[in-house]
Amino acid sequence: MELYIERGFEQTTVTEIASRAGLTQRTFFRHFADKREVLFAGADQLKELIVRTLDSALDSAAPLDAVAEALQVAGAAMQEGGDRPRLRQVVITANPELQERELIKLASLAAAIAGALRQRGVPDPAASLTAEAGIAVFKIAFERWISLDGQQDLPETIREALEELKAVTAGK
């Protein structure tokens, strides 16, 4: 990722990335489908963490609150990456292909959350809507957190965005 920041995503070749990481090209492609994937290396772990947290949520928790709680746990994990999530976002925002990939990852996360909710007995369309609402909260909170240079706690920003969503859907 350092190379993407130094030279720009488009100008960086797989050979350069692999060499910086001390890998051969072949090893690189064993780990990543393409050079875009490097930036989304943590996405699968984050998805698993969210689904696992959701699976262990109390049955008494309202579905959207359980989703928000799981996203807060993921937010806390992301925050531990220090500057990395913010630098990563600078690279992604500068490149339409990376934005596309990010949208795909968020859609896949929404599908995983909806699946976990169905496991908890939430019927459709409530399961899909709750998952999409959770992703909306996460997206807006993450953008806000980035724009504040990480000066605010990410899990707290997610909680605030959830309250805001509840207010707008209640017509306030």
Residues contributing to the site for a second copy (CB under 8 A): 62-65, 96, 99-101, 103-104, 107, 125-126, 128-130, 132-133, 135-137, 139-140, 143-144, 161, 164-172
When the beta carbons of 21 and 103 are compared against a second copy, the nearer one is 103
**From the CB of 120, what's the least distance to a second copy, in Å?**
13
How many residues make up the chain in this entry? 172
**From the CB of 160, what's the least distance to a second copy, in Å?**
8
**From the CB of 147, what's the least distance to a second copy, in Å?**
10
**From the CB of 125, what's the least distance to a second copy, in Å?**
5
Q: What is the 3-state secondary structure (H, E, C) of 111-156?
A: HHHHHHHHHCCCCCCHHHHHHHHHHHHHHHHHHHHHHCCCCCCHHH
When the beta carbons of 76 and 106 are compared against a second copy, the nearer one is 106
When the beta carbons of 11 and 147 are compared against a second copy, the nearer one is 147
When the beta carbons of 3 and 98 are compared against a second copy, the nearer one is 98
